[in-house]
Amino acid sequence: MKDDIILKIENLSKQYRLGTVGTGTLGHDINRAWAKMRGKEDPYQKIGAVNDRSTAASSDYVWALKDINFEVKRGEIVGIIGKNGAGKSTLLKILSRVTSPTTGSIKVGGRMASLLEVGTGMHPELTGRENIYLNGAILGMTKAEIASKIDEIIEFSGCQMYIDTPVKRYSSGMGVRLGFAVAAFLEPDILVVDEVLAVGDAEFQKKAIGKMQDISSSGGRTVLFVSHNMDSVQSLCTRVIHIMNGCIVNSGSTKKIISEYLNAGLTHHRVLEGISERKGNAQLLMKTIDLFALDESMPKTVFSLGERLKLILTVAKSSSNIPIESIKIILGIYNENGEGIIRIDKNMSILTKPDLNNHSDTLIFECKILDPLNIVPGNYSINIAIFKNQQLADYLSGKILFSIINENYLGNGKLPEDLGLAKIVCRSKWSIQKIA
């Protein structure tokens, strides 16, 4: 391998037999052994279904991973993302030598420490202190080297009171704290961290992410990080690999890959007229809606922290003689807890023009939200209510979704001071056009 490449994976695949443990039958084992004796390929490597957990099995075998190829440079923090069952944990278990690959090769240029599940590498009958020495010895460290770091490990873990208590009496969160502290402070060349950090509390997750950043930037060590928390991936990783159905879909810059992952399977142009769960007298009906960044022309559903939002809403009138000045639109942006974050309340009388009034059955409203989206990264929904002469004509709730991801748009590594503060009223600019 090149000097700056610490991990190289070539044509890595892992096959499992469905419904049974091991290879399944004695006959299959004999066939495999006979093929190996003759120098032939394993006959069962030629078959197997794609690793799509949502479909019915078409074979007794499944490829949990198929033809995985990538390299990791020394000092990189690489995120691995994908849906449940995509193959992320299988990949990390192979890298950590918990299981072996069916085909392919792995070249590692240093010591690797893994934190894959709660309690990984911990002996339940040993105390926390004894487990620190055990894990250090497994990593090839001397007793003196471990002793020089044990105070830092214990302090970071926050388990001082229980450090001489058997690990089997630890809570799951305490086990993660100690396990991560051991893996991080015993100076592996490659640190492998699975979703296990989600078990820890918010304070510990923040400490853990900061520690991973420190060991990468100051120690030149490499981190492989698997998580479903896109905010953590965005703030921590320098590069991201997206795995789907056991294969690498794409890899590249963190922002680009996360955006593609979150947008996968979503329809940017959303048709609203077929939605039955709505309220109002139907004199005005919302037909479609598109969301944009303020200065972009392509619709999307994932926005960076601090971007400005534009939406284009198509509305059908039950009668062409409904005057525009009688229309009022209220927009509300809500977080995942149903709390209102942004409200926009606008009478369309300000838009009245002779050439638009009373002549069109369909209208297009454009709303530019002028204030930046300085709201906590996460998932949000837009509720829209349309009134005619103070009577509710149409109302949709929870059907229009978008996400905010963290990004250093201030350029100084800090978040806005007003982040998360609700803006009850937000500045907006509206325009309108008709469809003949």
On the 0-12 / 13-18 / 19+ scale of CB atoms within 10 A, 86 is buried
Give the model's confidence band at 299: pLDDT under 50 very low, under 70 low, under 90 confident, else very high: confident
pLDDT at residue 163 greater than cutoff 90: yes
pLDDT at residue 59 greater than cutoff 70: no
* pLDDT tens per residue across span 204-216: 877 888 888 888 8
Average pLDDT, the chain: 80
Q: CA distances (Å), 176 to each of 98, 111, 209, 335, 362, in order?
A: 18, 21, 14, 29, 57
pLDDT at residue 435 greater than cutoff 60: no
Instruction: Measure the CA angle with vertex 281, ends 278 and 286; round to 5°.
Output: 55
The pLDDT, as a whole number, for residue 70 is: 93
Torsions phi, psi of 207, nearest 5? -65, -40
Residues with Cβ within 8 Å of residue 346, at least 6 apart in sequence: 328, 329, 330, 367, 428, 430
CA distance 409 to 317: 41
Q: What is the mean pLDDT of residues 261-279?
A: 72
The pLDDT, as a whole number, for residue 421 is: 46
CB 216, CB 75: distance < 8 Å: yes
In this prediction the pTM is 0.62
Would you give the distance in Å from CA 86 to the centre of its chain? Answer: 13
Name which of 16-25, 129-138, 317-326, 412-421 the model is least confident about. 412-421
* pLDDT tens per residue across span 166-200: 998 988 888 888 888 888 887 788 888 887 676 66
Radius of gyration of the chain (CA): 28
pLDDT at residue 21 greater than cutoff 60: no
CB 356, CB 371: distance < 8 Å: no
Give the model's confidence band at 265: pLDDT under 50 very low, under 70 low, under 90 confident, else very high: low
The pLDDT, as a whole number, for residue 71 is: 93
Give the model's confidence band at 240: pLDDT under 50 very low, under 70 low, under 90 confident, else very high: very high
Q: Which residue has the tokens 């590069």?
A: 239
Torsions phi, psi of 157, nearest 5? -70, -25
CB 123, CB 133: distance < 8 Å: no
The top-scoring range by mean pLDDT among 44-58, 69-83, 180-194 is 69-83
Q: CA distances (Å), 147 to each of 49, 136, 420, in order?
A: 49, 10, 43
The pLDDT, as a whole number, for residue 9 is: 93
Domains annotated on the chain, with CATH: 270-435 (2.70.50.60)
- The single-letter code of the amino acid at 434 is K
The pLDDT, as a whole number, for residue 165 is: 93
433 in helix, strand or coil? Answer: strand
